[in-house]
Amino acid sequence: MAKKQTIKVKAVKKSVEQKQIPTGRVYVTATFNNTLVTLTDVLGNTLAWSSSGASGFKGARKATPFAAISAVESVVNKAKSVGMTAVEVYIKGPGSGRDSSLRALRSAGLNITMIADVTPVPFGGPRAKKKRRV
């Protein structure tokens, strides 16, 4: 019988560099039930995201301003680890986490270069009631 030959292969570990991204965008979607926060680079590639529900809040407490602050703080930690210093903020929705998320971004030390409200507003309005026939 022939002997089986075993070949040892050494795995070469690649050095992983952290990308340094100085500017980015933060999208805050504040609904009546939750607050979603997404961090992207300038091209729109998602770097991190969080929500009030992902921060550990359940039920009606997800819609509170404090839950929005905790969601923003977890995203800001990732932004600082990437080296981000300035952000543009896009806010959408009527929820209670709108103002508190802005305050949390400001107090975390990120420089806010722009704030835009991108809440969709209907321009034609709802469909009119049918005409009354007598």
Compute the distance between CA of residue 123 and CA of residue 82 in angstroms, rounded to an integer: 40
CB atoms within 10 A of CB 27: 19
pLDDT number for residue 11: 74
pLDDT number for residue 8: 72
Backbone phi, psi, residue 112, to 5°: -90, 115
For strand 86-92 and strand 23-30, is the pairing parallel, antiparallel, or unpaired?
A: parallel
* Degrees to nearest 5, angle at CA 86 with 45 and 98: 80
- The whole-model pTM stands at 0.78
Q: What is the dihedral of CA 38, 39, 44, 47, to 10 degrees?
A: -110
Domains of the chain: 41-117 (3.30.420.80)
Mean pLDDT per 10-residue interval, the chain, length 134 residues: 72 70 93 95 93 92 93 93 93 92 92 94 87 91
Query: What separation in angstroms does the CA of 79 have from each of 15, 30, 47, 111?
Result: 21, 20, 8, 12
pLDDT number for residue 17: 66
Backbone phi, psi, residue 114, to 5°: -155, 145
